Chains A and B, each alone.
Chain A
Amino acid sequence: DTAVSQTPKYLVTQMGNDKSIKCEQNLGHDTMYWYKQDSKKFLKIMFSYNNKELIINETVPNRFSPKSPDKAHLNLHINSLELGDSAVYFCASSQRTGNQPQHFGDGTRLSIL
């Protein structure tokens, strides 16, 4: 069974559109993250939720809105997509206490035309 799964794997869309990426983890972790990896492979944190509460918001444009309906799910909605949003978006989860590692999904490759 996949531990952290995100859908879709590929997303190709026009500039100005609105899109969502979904993430689910079955590891029982209490913390989930969204990361953006650019073309140079730099991985930067965008958001983090701990038990459905937003705990990290890294100066991401308001067009990006995360939503966590429960601690196993963290979705990312993006409004008015721009060319610069093209990247690979990774979802991850971890158990915050006790120095635990993060578990990553396989990413969603977003391409803006």
Chain B
Amino acid sequence: SQQGEEDPQALSIQEGENATMNCSYKTSINNLQWYRQNSGRGLVHLILIRSNEREKHSGRLRVTLDTSKKSSSLLITASRAADTASYFCATDISGTYKYIFGTGTRLKVLA
């Protein structure tokens, strides 16, 4: 299967704590993207990191990319109840128009 893997599958933390989720993939990529999906809604793009970048920040989000290990991590600092959602990584496969999504991490932030 080309499906990317994310771990953990589910994560429950207290408001104010940091949340880290990981993504592993299988092929060469142009970039890797992280998306958030709130219940009953479509995916919303959070951050894109190119294959030649190692780290990227956007507000409370920090993404790292290790192409040698084919893995990425998303860190959400100082989490809020509104961060409760499912988070997906998506890899833009080199030489194709295809995006492969990970299996997702369900994050619950308790107030």
Contacts and interface: CB of A to CB of B under 8 A. Distances in A.
B3 interface: yes
Interface in B22-50: 30-31, 33, 35, 37, 40-45, 48, 50
A95 B2 CA distance: 23
A44 B98 CA distance: 10
A45 B99 CA distance: 7
Contact of A106 (B30, B41, B99): B41
Interface residues of A, number: 26
Interface string A91-113: 01000100111111111000000
Q: Is the interface of A mostly helix, strand, loop or mixed?
A: strand
Contact of B97 (A42, A96, A99): A96
B98 A101 contact: no
Contact of A90 (B43, B86, B96, B100): B43
Interface of B: 3, 30-31, 33, 35, 37, 40-45, 48, 50, 86, 88, 90, 92, 96-101, 103-104, 106
Interface of A: 4, 31, 33, 35, 40-45, 48, 50, 55-56, 90, 92, 96, 99-107
Nearest to A109: B40
B42 A56 contact: no
B97 A102 contact: no
Given A42-B103, A44-B101, A56-B98, A99 B41 contact: no
